[in-house]
Amino acid sequence: MKLSVIIPAHNEASLIERVISDIAGELSGEKIDAEIVVVDDNSDDGTHDIVSAIAALDERIRLVKRVPPRGFGRAIRDGLEKATGDAVVVAMGDASDDPADITRYFRKIEEGYDCVFGSRFMKGSAVMDYPAVKLLLNRAANLFLRCIFWTSHNDLTNAFKAYRREVIDAIKPIESLYFNVTIEMPLKALIRGYKIAVVPVKWHGRESGVTKLKIADMGRRYLYTALYLWLQRVLVMDDINERASL
C-alpha cells in the first residue's frame, strides 16, 4: 500500500526543509512506500526553490506549484488531484505535526480503517505552545461540532488526518477554498459512516514564520461549512448514500 503525504505550504522557507526531511526520514525508517507532495502556493520567500532542490535529489518528493489565487483548501484539492497513493495524510508545513504520528496513521489504515483522526485532546496526546486565544476558540468550535453532529470526536478542526483513497473519492467535490476544508473533509467522512480510528497526536505551535490563519475571516467560513454539512446530514444523506451505491 502506498501513502501520499500532502503538505500545503505558503511562505514556509524557514521550516519546510526540516519538515520534509523529518517526514522522509520517518517513512524510510518505517519502510513505508510513500511520496511527499508539497503544494507551494505562490510563496515569495524561497519556499519553492528549497522544495525544488530537495525534489531533484529524491524522487519521492514532488512539488506542485500553484498559480494565484491562493488558499489552503485550493492547495489541498490540488494535492489530492496529484497524489497517487492508496491513502493520503494531510500534514502541515510548519512542523506542528509529529512525523511518528504519520506512521501511526498508516498502520491504522493497514489494519483496515478508512480514516484516522488524530486528537490533540485525549489521553496520550501532547500540545505544546498553543496560543491561548486560539486554544479557546478551538475548544469552542469543537464543542459546537460535537453538539450539532452528535459525535465524540473532539479535534475535528485539525487538518492532520489520514484517509483512504476511496474516502477521498467519495467526499468529492471538496468545496472549501480556505481553512474551512479542515472541517469539510472529516465531517463528510463522518456523516458517510466510514470506519474511523482515533489516535492521540503530538502537536507543536509554530516556531518561526508567519501564521496564515485569519481568525475573523475563518469563523464565518467554518460556520457555513458546518451548517451546510449538518443540513446535508439531516436532509439529504439518504440520497447521497443511494447515489454512492448505484
Of 90, 150, 98, nearest to 125 (Cα)?
98
User: Rounded to the nearest whole angstrom, what is the least distance from the CB of residue 88 to ligand GTP in the complex?
Assistant: 15
Binding mask 161-200 for ligand GTP (x = CB under 6 A): ----------------------------------------
- Do residues 34 and 67 lie in contact, with contact meaning Cβ atoms separated by under 8 Å? no
Would you count residue 156 as binding ligand GTP (CB under 6 A)?
A: no
Cell 451548517: give the residue: 227
Stretch that binds Mg ion, among 23-31, 34-42, 132-140, 200-208 (CB under 5 A): 200-208
Would you count residue 77 as binding ligand GTP (CB under 6 A)?
A: no
Query: Residue from 4, 14, 96, 176 that binds Mg ion (CB under 5 A)?
Result: 96
C-beta of 34 vs 64, nearer to ligand GTP: 64
User: Rounded to the nearest whole angstrom, what is the least distance from the CB of residue 95 to ligand GTP in the complex?
Assistant: 9
C-beta of 35 vs 97, nearer to Mg ion: 97
User: Which helix (H) or strand (E) covers residue 200, if one does?
Assistant: strand 196-200
Query: What 8-state DSSP symbol labels residue 70?
Result: P
Would you count residue 94 as binding Mg ion (CB under 5 A)?
A: yes
Of 79, 14, 96, 7, nearest to 50 (Cα)?
14
Q: Give the cell for residue 58.
A: 529524491
Q: Give the cell for residue 100.
A: 511518528
Of 40, 51, 34, 102, nearest to 75 (Cα)?
40
How far is residue 120's CA from residue 156's CA, in Å, rounded to a whole number? 10
C-beta of 62 vs 70, nearer to ligand GTP: 70
Interacting residue ranges for Mg ion, rule: CB under 5 A = 94, 96, 206
